[in-house]
Amino acid sequence: MSTSRPSARRALRRLPLHAAAALTVVICLFPVYWMVTTAFKPSTDIQSYDPRLIPRAWTFDHFRRAVGADGFALFWRNSILVTLSAVLLALVVALGAAYAVARLRWRGRRQFVLAVFIAQMAPWESLIIPIYIISRDTGMLDRLPTLTLIYFMITLPFTVIVLRGFIAGIPPELEEAAQVDGCTRAGAFRKVAFPLLAPGLMATSLFGFITAWNEFTYANFLIIKQQDSRTLPVWLSSFQSTFGTDWGATMAASTLFALPALAIFLALQRHVAAGLASGGVKG
């Protein structure tokens, strides 16, 4: 009896927290649920004034129209190419910068870190006009490499910040012991520190992938005007016309669009939490 009462009291105290967590999950997941179910609803049910949480009938017609839309395969290729290139480029550059900040002592290091934090806090929408002017003057408008460089610039500050903290959390004595055994500084980092960075690399890769995969403003209004160079977020707007919006096809396309990010998150979720937590240990 004495042990059951404290456990019951703890459960009662935690009940509001559990209720708040459940409410948060419902609020966050309900729009996703509505998007997926709308993608399978017949058009008559979508346009009905009596919406239902559970569809009365299921159809794949909206997915067929989405897959059969003009430029479907081309836009997928463009998005995958731009996103993966930006993420890989950000990882390579940020890894060197984070190591220099976390391990080396050089003049201007604190100012560099401060500049990285300022770049991370700056709203990227405020840079649309400067980026447009630079792209226009250098002849880089309507090109996928320009979009890749923009996504690289957006994801780089966060990648440097996380990897910096993660490298700082690795004891430098491990690398020093490897150097005593005959490794160079680069060899010690590659053989000792780099394998321990896997969670941090996965966390930053996931953030960079989702950021670049979902970006719409630069791809639609600023950089890309040619049809063959557009990405998937721009493709979603193609289901709108002067006669209205094909909501079934839009929701089906949005569901297909969300699948790659969801798959990558589910594959890396165990490492992402550890990477973000370890990256915030030291600074």
Q: Tell me which of 272 and 246 has the higher pLDDT.
A: 246
Out of 3.40.250.10, 1.10.3720.10, 3.40.1390.10, 3.40.50.1820, which CATH number does the structure's domain 69-279 have?
1.10.3720.10
Judge residue 124's burial from the number of C-beta atoms within 10 Å of its C-beta, 0-12 exposed, 13-18 middle, 19 or more buried: middle
CA distances to 4, 40, 73, 120 from 260, rounded to whole Å, are 46, 19, 14, 25
Question: pTM for this structure?
Answer: 0.79
Residue 150 has pLDDT above 70, yes or no: yes
pLDDT at 283: 43
pLDDT at 81: 92
Q: Which residues, listed in sequence order, are joined to residue 245 by a DSSP beta bridge?
A: 240
Q: At what angle do helices 144-168 and 109-121 cross, to 10 degrees?
A: 130
Q: Tell me which of 61 and 49 has the higher pLDDT.
A: 61
pLDDT above 70 covers a percentage of the chain that reads 89
Judge residue 239's burial from the number of C-beta atoms within 10 Å of its C-beta, 0-12 exposed, 13-18 middle, 19 or more buried: buried
Cβ neighbours of residue 225 closer than 8 Å, sequence gap 6 or more: 141, 142
With tokens 């008559």, the residue in question is: 44
pLDDT at 4: 58
Question: What burial letters (b/e) apply to 53-69, b meaning 16+ CB within 10 Å?
Answer: eebeeebeebbebbeeb
Amino acid at 257: F
Residue 196 has pLDDT above 90, yes or no: no
Residue 174, helix vs strand vs coil: helix
pLDDT (mean) for 216-242: 75
Q: How far apart are CA 257 and CA 75, in angstroms?
A: 11
pLDDT (mean) for 193-210: 84
Q: pLDDT for 163-180, tens place per residue?
A: 888 888 888 888 888 888
Q: Which residues, listed in sequence order, are joined to residue 244 by a DSSP beta bridge?
A: 241
Residue 207 in contact with residue 158, Cβ under 8 Å? yes
Q: Tell me which of 228 and 139 has the higher pLDDT.
A: 139
Q: pLDDT for 104-136, tens place per residue?
A: 888 888 898 888 888 888 887 788 888 888 888
**Number of alpha carbons in the 13 Å side-chain half-sphere of residue 242:** 0
φ, ψ for residue 4 (rounded to 5)? Answer: -75, -30
Residue 6 has pLDDT above 50, yes or no: yes
**Number of alpha carbons in the 13 Å side-chain half-sphere of residue 31:** 5
pLDDT at 276: 54
